[in-house]
Structure 1
Amino acid sequence: MTAIILLTGVWGFKQNEIALFASTILTALGIAFFAHWSLLSNITSSILIFFNHPVKLGDFIKVLHKDYQYEGEVIELNYFFVYIKTVNNAIITIPNSHFFDKSFSVFDPKSDK
């Protein structure tokens, strides 16, 4: 910490610039920690699912969780939930943040599981 203060003095940063930078970093960290429990995490997770996950509409997936094992067709992806239609025609809604955290497998329902 002392080294950082010395370096900012050597580089010619002013005290108000350092305070602005520190408050910006602390604000971003606060939002990031709060977002884990809020709707913002679902929106962020939906963007990550859209761009990085190999799941798309019509895929048959199995969510692998020790307590709950969901299996069915992905029928909708939106900003807050992933909707899965099971073999029994039940609709399961999974929040995007939980869907993003859980392991799952994509499978072909016509082949052996």
Structure 2
Amino acid sequence: MLEQWGAQLLVVLQVLVIISLAFVLSRLVSRFMARLAARYPLPQELLLPVRGGLHWLIIGVALIMVLERFGMSATVLWTAFSGFVAVAAVAFFAMWSVLSNLLCAVFIFSAGPFRLGDRVELIENGEKPGVKGRVLDINLLYTTLEEHRESGETNLVHIPNSLFFQRMVRRWNGQAGAAEPASRVVAEPTDSPLG
């Protein structure tokens, strides 16, 4: 029984020593960075991230050492951490398209590059014609266009909102038969001294 208490007391003492050393090392690094900043004209924009990064590195190493004292392997911890980071990265990239469309929907609603009833055309490359139609619906993920074919056939096209910010867009106001672009130049008054 005394042997068990001695082993547990030894682990607690080791943890206290690790925490104390991490605290002292963190203070020494902070003082070293302050002296370095006083001696050399280093910008604060460089010193703050370096100091913060070293501080968190010391805390991370101390945490791993403490967990090792309680029986956890550093290899297992590193594997779990890297697995978590990999899953988070995959989830972020999987959601990137959806998040991009949501953000672009907010921009479409707030900036109003086009409205319901306008005719829009996504221009592929240069002047190559792309998808053209009347805007029927704008929701958080895509915009629905009613496309009229030369054969008289009507199609509904769902375009992701992010495409409206990746390609050039031509817009016409009003009904589907309007042929005049919405962005026309208004003539300036002729009573200016230059004209």
**Which TM-score tier does this pair reach, normalised by the shorter chain?**
0.5 to 0.7
**Distance (whole Å) between structure 1 residues aligned to residue 114 and residue 180 of structure 2:** 20
> Following TM superposition, where does structure 1 have runs of at least 4 consecutive aligned residues deviating by more than 4 angstroms?
33-36
Q: 1:34 deviation in Å?
A: 4.2
Identity of aligned residues (%): 25
Q: How many residues align?
A: 95
Relative distance call for 1:62 and 1:38 in structure 2 (3 A) is closer
Where is the strand percentage greater, Structure 1 or Structure 2?
1
For residue 97 of structure 1, report the CA deviation from its aligned partner.
1.0
Higher relative contact order (CA 8 A, sep 6+): 1
Amino acid at match of 2:165: F
Separation in structure 2 between the aligned mates of residue 62 and residue 97 of structure 1, nearest angstrom: 14
RMSD (Å) for aligned C-alpha atoms: 3.4
After superposition, residues 1-113 of structure 1 pair within 5 angstroms as 3=43, 4-5=46-47, 8=48, 15=52, 34=93, 37-66=96-125, 69-87=130-148, 88-107=153-172, 109-111=177-179
Q: Distance in 1 between matches of 2:103 and 2:162?
A: 8
Q: TM-score normalized by structure 1?
A: 0.65
Whose helix proportion is higher, 1 or 2? 2
Q: What do residues 13-47 of structure 1 show as CA deviations (whole Å, max 9, x unaligned)?
A: x748x85xxxxxxxxxx8xx848842111100100
Aligned partner letter, 1:110 = A
Structure 2 residue ranges without an equivalent (≥5): 1-41, 57-88, 182-195
Larger radius of gyration: 2
Structure 1: 5+ residue runs without aligned partners? 9-13, 20-29
The 1:112–1:106 alpha-carbon spacing in structure 2 relative to 1, beyond 3 Å, is: closer
User: What is the CA distance between 1:76 and its match in structure 2?
Assistant: 0.4
Residue 106 of structure 1: CA displacement?
A: 1.0
